[in-house]
């Protein structure tokens, strides 16, 4: 049984590395090289974060303020879970730090980042935000709410493209984000009745 599990894990890791090479190497182009490093860093999105944190309480008073508080709690829980319950437990080296793999990495940013990569905090945080937005704002935004997931997916893709995460790191982070975003979004809707803006 152990041999079967070990063989399966090895096969999954091979697929993960193959997909990394497809994204990081084979899809490389000068346009992506110029924009992907920016798309993955927090300060690039500060105007969006500030807009949400100002717009919601300004327009929806107490419920908007609680929306901001729980939105921030979602991000914090995603970030802490990804770092403390996954990165420190699995201790999977980043592709750009793995001595057995780094020669395959085209690093598009100046620094590789922290030592461990599973799961991606960027993916956990942004998929958490996207899911929370989807759950709480869907009645208002309608089909436009799916842009939140597209946004999170682009950030996740950028992490692989620049060479600091494997695709499985992004997938793992996305699952964490989805779980916390869904739970806290559902809690917000049930506790504060923020189903539609009145």
Q: Among the residues of 91-166, which ranges form H helices?
A: 121-141, 147-161
Question: Whole-prediction pTM value?
Answer: 0.90
Residue 9 or 44, more confident: 44
pLDDT tens-digit series, residues 76-92? 999 999 999 999 899 99
Mean pLDDT of the chain: 90
């Amino acid at each position: 049984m152990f041999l079967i599990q070990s063989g399966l894990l090895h096969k999954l890791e091979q697929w993960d590395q193959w997909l990394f090479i497809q994204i990081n190497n084979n899809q490389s182009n000068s346009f992506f090289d110029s924009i992907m490093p920016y798309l993955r860093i927090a300060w690039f999105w500060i105007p969006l974060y500030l807009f949400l944190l100002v717009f919601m309480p300004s327009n929806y008073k107490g419920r908007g303020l609680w929306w901001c508080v729980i939105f921030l709690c979602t991000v914090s829980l995603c970030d802490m879970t990804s770092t403390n319950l996954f990165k420190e437990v699995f201790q999977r080296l980043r592709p750009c730090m793995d001595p057995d793999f780094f020669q395959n990495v085209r690093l598009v940013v100046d620094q590789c980042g922290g030592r461990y990569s599973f799961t991606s905090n960027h993916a956990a945080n942004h998929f958490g935000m996207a899911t929370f937005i989807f759950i709480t704002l869907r009645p208002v935004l309608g089909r436009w709410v799916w842009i939140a997931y597209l946004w999170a997916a682009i950030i996740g893709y950028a992490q692989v493209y620049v060479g600091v995460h494997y695709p499985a790191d992004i997938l793992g982070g996305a699952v964490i984000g989805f779980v916390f975003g869904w739970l806290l979004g559902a809690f917000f809707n049930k506790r504060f009745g923020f189903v539609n803006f009145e």
